[in-house]
Amino acid sequence: MSSPNAERIRFLRASWASLLVGGAAAICLALPQFSDTLLYRRAEMAGGEYWRLWTGHLVHFGGRHLLADLIVFLVAGVWLESFARWTTRGFLVLAPAAISAFLYFADPQLTFYGGLSGVAVGLLVLLALLQVRRDKLAPRWIWVGVLVLVAVKGALEAFTNTPLVSDFGPNIKVSSLAHLGGILCALLAWPLARWESK
């Protein structure tokens, strides 16, 4: 019989990809001199700096922004990776670029973007979709409630153009399209995640 500490270590080892991305976002905040090189910037991406499709999601506009994103990202990512590891890791590789491409084509006025919120929302929606059928301990309405809350929060932010969790200052606005992009990625990943988590 294994000890609780051994179980925790095994759980964390199984979730290394989510922890790695979260750690990279924290390092980006600690080393702001690299932020401008990593941030999603439309003009630079049009000039061939394609790494920004991925790295822009690691850059945050202050500690509160990072904390708000990391709480959702790590809880959903670590949990999801513990039982659907290959789908989660694929999501962590593909979803950032897909969300950035979605922003690029859907919002030509968006000159820059940063933050893990789009990826975090996608992970949370994917987790809730899977747990509606998979979770034997919690009632189904809890996970349906998570999905409803994500939809309500997204709608309120889209209509008010104001973040409900973090205040980025007057020059930075929330991008509801990034959250929508994360949700679309979750819907695309859902069939594969259902198959893997059986």
* Domain extents in the chain: 4-196
State the Cα–Cα distance between residues 189 and 175, nearest whole angstrom.
22
Task: Evaluate if residue 1 carries a pLDDT over 60.
Answer: no
The per-residue pLDDT for 164 is 67
Rounded to the nearest 10 degrees, how much is the dihedral formed by the CA atoms of 177, 178, 181, 183?
-100
Per-residue pLDDT band at 153 (split at 50, 70, 90): confident
The more confidently predicted of residues 180 and 172 is 180
Please answer whether residues 114 and 64 qualify as being in contact, where contact means their C-beta atoms are separated by less than 8 angstroms.
no
Q: For residue 63, which amino acid is it? A: G
CA angle 135–140–142, rounded 5-degree value: 100
- What is the residue type of 98? A
pLDDT at 140 exceeding the cut of 90: no
> Looking at residue 137, what is its pLDDT?
76
Q: What is the pLDDT of residue 173?
A: 67
25-81 residue pLDDT tens: 999 999 999 999 999 999 999 999 999 999 999 999 989 889 999 999 999 999 999
Q: Sign of dihedral through CA atoms 88, 106, 112, 46?
A: positive
Is residue 7 a contact partner of residue 59, using CB atoms and an 8 Å limit?
Answer: no
- Domain 4-196, CATH homologous superfamily name and number: Rhomboid-like (1.20.1540.10)
| Percent above pLDDT 90 for the chain | 68
Query: What six digits make up the tokens of 48?
Result: 């061939």
Structure tokens at 63: 């500690």
Confidence grade of residue 12 (pLDDT, cut at 50, 70, 90) = confident
Question: Could you tell me if 41 and 52 are in contact, meaning their C-beta atoms sit under 8 angstroms apart?
Answer: yes
Q: State the pLDDT at residue 130.
A: 93
**What are the structure tokens assigned to 53, written together?**
């499709």
Which residue is it, tokens 């039982």?
83
**pLDDT attached to residue 39:** 96
In the chain, the DSSP E strands lie at: 40-41, 112-113
